[in-house]
């Protein structure tokens, strides 16, 4: 089962390595990992998407809470969470395909941020389903490069 874990930590050297090591040491593969400082710079939020057994994950979350520099740990259930991902995508685009790609971008509220003779760079944000649907439509044109942030998430309540 897929889980989104959010960990609020002190923004200090080695904290991310300890958290990632704790997950890998318990056999979890981290699908996505996103880390960013909070507005004050003293704290960071680590958001990880994992696949794994429910009981093993519960144990890992309890152990995460005991790590030095960890302030808060949340396992976000999909129905109570707002999660988004950012993707930058370089798509092959010639004069024949450019209009169709632009229409898909408009439908999905993606932004074209750079246009070149033979390619377009697109920025899209959204949940997993939106991103997947967009990629399926764009893939036949030819994806030249892609960079993904992984999920960031917050609780609705």
Per-position DSSP letters for 111-150, written without gaps between them: EEEEE-SSEEEEEEEE-HHHHHHHHHHHGGG-EEEEEE--
Name the pTM for this structure: 0.84
Q: Is the dihedral of CA 61, 62, 67, 70 positive or negative?
A: positive
**Fold agreement (2-76, 82-155):** yes
Domain ranges of the chain: 2-76, 82-155
DSSP 67: S
Whole-number average pLDDT of the chain: 91
111 pLDDT band, cuts 50/70/90, is: very high
pLDDT digits (tens, 9 = 90+) for 59-91: 888 889 989 999 999 988 766 888 999 999 999
Listed range (1-10, 77-86, 142-151) with the worst mean pLDDT: 77-86
Say which CATH superfamily domain 2-76 falls into: ACT domain (3.30.70.260)
Report the CATH superfamily, name and number, of domain 82-155: ACT-like. Chain A, domain 2 (3.30.70.1150)
Q: Range with the lowest mean pLDDT among 11-20, 23-32, 94-103?
A: 23-32
């Amino acid at each position: 089962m897929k889980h989104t874990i959010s960990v609020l930590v002190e923004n200090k050297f080695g904290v991310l390595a300890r958290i990632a090591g704790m997950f890998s040491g318990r056999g979890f593969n981290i699908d996505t990992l996103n880390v960013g400082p909070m507005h004050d710079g003293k704290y960071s939020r680590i958001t990880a998407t994992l696949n794994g057994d429910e009981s093993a994950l519960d144990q890992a979350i309890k152990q995460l809470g005991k790590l030095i520099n960890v302030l808060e740990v949340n396992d976000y259930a999909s129905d109570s969470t707002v999660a988004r991902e950012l993707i930058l995508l370089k798509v092959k685009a010639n004069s024949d395909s450019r209009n169709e790609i632009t229409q898909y971008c408009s439908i999905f509220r993606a932004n074209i941020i750079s246009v070149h003779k033979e390619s377009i760079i697109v920025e899209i944000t959204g949940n997993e389903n939106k991103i997947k649907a967009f990629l399926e439509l764009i893939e036949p044109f030819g994806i030249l490069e892609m960079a993904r942030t992984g999920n960031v998430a917050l609780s609705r309540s």
